[in-house]
Amino acid sequence: MTDQSATIEISHPPEAVLRALNTVLRRALRTPLGAPIGDFMVVGFTGRKTGRRYAVPVSAHRLDGDFYALLNAGWKANFRGGAVADVTYRGKTAPMQGTLISDPAAVGEIAERVATAYGPKKAQRQMGLRFPGAGVPSVAEFTEAAGRLGLVAVKLAPKA
109: left (phi over 0), alpha (psi -120 to 50) or beta: alpha
79-121 pLDDT, tens digit each: 999 999 999 998 889 999 999 999 999 999 999 999 999 999 9
Residue 53 reports pLDDT greater than 90: yes
Q: What DSSP string runs through 69-97?
A: EEE--GGGGGGTT-EEEEEEETTEEEEEE
Instruction: Give the per-residue pLDDT at 132.
Output: 83
29 Cα distance to chain centroid: 16
HSE of 134 in the Cβ direction (CA atoms, 13 Å)? Answer: 0
Q: Is 145 exposed, middle or buried (0-12, 13-18, 19+ CB in 10 A)?
A: buried
Can you give the pTM of this predicted structure?
Answer: 0.87
Q: How far apart are CA 155 and CA 68, in angstroms?
A: 5
22-38 pLDDT, tens digit each: 777 777 777 777 777 77
Instruction: Give the per-residue pLDDT at 4.
Output: 44
What average pLDDT does this structure show over 54-70? 94
What average pLDDT does this structure show over 1-8? 55
